[in-house]
Amino acid sequence: MGERLLLRGNEVIAEAAIRAGCQCYFAYPITPQAELLEHMANNMPRLGRTFIQAESELAAISMVYGAAGAGVRTMTSSSSPGISLKQEGISYLAGANLPCVIVNVVRGGPGLGNIAPSQCDYFQATKGGGHGDYRLIVLGPSTVPEAGELTMLAFELADQYRIPVMILADGLLGQMMEPVELPDPIDPASLPAKEWATTGAKGRAPNIILSFEMDPEGLKQINDDLQAKYRTITKNEVRYEQTDTDDADIVIAAYGTIGRICKSVVRMARAEGIKVGLFRPITLWPFPTEPLKALSERVDTILSVEMSAGQMWEDVRLAVAERAKTPFYGETGGIVPTPRSILNEVKKHVR
Amino acid sequence: MSANPKNMVKVFERPASLTDAKFTYCPGCHHGLLTRIIGNVLDELDIADRTVGIAPVGCSVFAYLWYKADSQQVPHGRACAVATGIKRARPELIVFSYQGDGDFASIGTAESIHAANRGENITVIFVNNQIYGMTGGEMAPTTLVDQKTTTTPLGRDPKVAGYPIRFSEMIATLDTPIYVTRQALFDTKHIMDTTKAIKKAFQNQVDGKGYSLVEVLSTCPTNWRMSPVQSNKHVGETVTKVFPLGDLVDRG
Rg from Cα positions in chain A = 20
Q: Which of A58, A70, A211 sits opposite B86 (nearest CB)?
A: A70
Q: Is the Cβ pair A65, B82 closer than 8 Å?
A: yes
Task: Give the CA angle between residues B208, B214, B215 to the nearest 5°.
Answer: 160
Q: How many CB atoms lie within 10 A of CB A297?
A: 9
Let me know if residue B161 belongs to a domain. yes
Q: With both helix axes pointing from N to C terminus, report the angle between A339-348 and A256-271 in degrees, rounded to the nearest 10.
A: 60
Task: Judge whether residue B114 has pLDDT over 60.
Answer: yes
Provide mean pLDDT across the span A288-312: 97
Let me know if residue B138 belongs to a domain. yes
Please tell me whether residue A83 adopts helix, strand or coil conformation: helix
CA pseudo-torsion sign B69, B75, B80, B81: negative
Task: Give the CA angle between residues B239, B244, B247 to the nearest 5°.
Answer: 140
Q: Give the structural domain span for B163.
A: 24-250
Let me know if residue B2 belongs to a domain. no
Domain A241-348 listed as CATH 3.40.50.620: no
Longest dimension (CA), chain A: 72
Please tell me whether residue A275 adopts helix, strand or coil conformation: coil
The pLDDT value recorded for residue B1 is 53
Let me know if residue B157 belongs to a domain. yes
Alpha carbon distance B35, B60 (integer Å): 10
Residues of A with CB under 8 A from a CB of B: 23-24, 26, 50, 52, 54-56, 58-60, 62-72, 74, 88-89, 92, 96, 198-203, 206-212
Let me know if residue B224 belongs to a domain. yes
The pLDDT value recorded for residue A1 is 54
Provide mean pLDDT across the span B172-194: 98
* Residue of B65, B67, B86, B103 to mutate, testing the A interface (most A Cβ within 10 Å of its Cβ): B86
Q: Which of A59, A201, A209 sits opposite B49 (nearest CB)?
A: A201
Q: Is the Cβ pair B89, A211 closer than 8 Å?
A: no
DSSP E strands: which ranges in chain B?
Answer: 51-55, 70-73, 94-100, 123-128, 179-184, 212-217, 246-250
**Per-residue model confidence as pLDDT tens digits over A100-159:** 999 999 999 999 999 999 999 999 999 989 999 999 999 999 999 999 999 999 999 999
Q: How confident is the model at residue B3 (pLDDT cuts 50, 70, 90)?
A: low
The pLDDT value recorded for residue B5 is 75
Provide mean pLDDT across the span A260-269: 98
Let me know if residue B12 belongs to a domain. no
Computed over every residue of chain B, the mean pLDDT equals: 96
Q: Residue B70: name the closest of A197, A203, A63, A213 by CA.
A: A197
Find the DSSP H helices in A96-215: 122-127, 144-161, 171-175
**Per-residue model confidence as pLDDT tens digits over A73-89:** 999 999 999 999 999 99
**Per-residue model confidence as pLDDT tens digits over A176-212:** 999 999 999 999 999 999 999 999 999 999 999 999 9
Total domain count, chain B: 1
Alpha carbon distance A180, A143 (integer Å): 10
CB of B111 within 8 Å of a chain A CB? The answer is yes
Alpha carbon distance A114, A154 (integer Å): 27
Topology alike, domains A4-201+223-236 and A241-348: yes
Q: Is the Cβ pair A209, B72 closer than 8 Å?
A: yes
Q: How confident is the model at residue B58 (pLDDT cuts 50, 70, 90)?
A: very high
Q: How far is A70 from chain B (nearest CA, A)?
A: 6
The pLDDT value recorded for residue B63 is 95
Provide mean pLDDT across the span B100-116: 98
Q: Which of B50, B83, B113 sits opposite A202 (nearest CB)?
A: B50
Architecture of domain A4-201+223-236: 3-Layer(aba) Sandwich (3.40)
Let me know if residue B186 belongs to a domain. yes
The pLDDT value recorded for residue A2 is 65
**Per-residue model confidence as pLDDT tens digits over A6-20:** 999 999 999 999 999
The secondary structure of A5-66 as a DSSP string is EEEEHHHHHHHHHHHTT--EEEE---TT-HHHHHHHHHHTGGGT-EEEE-SSHHHHHHHHHH
We report the CATH number of the domain holding residue B165 as: 3.40.50.970
The domain ranges of chain A are 4-201+223-236, 241-348
Q: Is the Cβ pair A203, B88 closer than 8 Å?
A: no
Among chain B residues, the shortest Cα distance to A89 is held by B75
A15 vs A77, A144, A148, A173, A293, CA distance in Å?
A: 13, 12, 8, 15, 36
Let me know if residue B117 belongs to a domain. yes
Residues 6+ apart with CB under 8 A from B55: A210, B61, B62, B63, B64, B71, B72, B73, B74, B98
Q: Which of B55, B86, B113 sits opposite A66 (nearest CB)?
A: B86
CA B51 to chain centre: 17
Q: How confident is the model at residue B215 (pLDDT cuts 50, 70, 90)?
A: very high
The pLDDT value recorded for residue A122 is 98
**Interface predicted TM-score (ipTM):** 0.96
Provide mean pLDDT across the span A335-344: 97
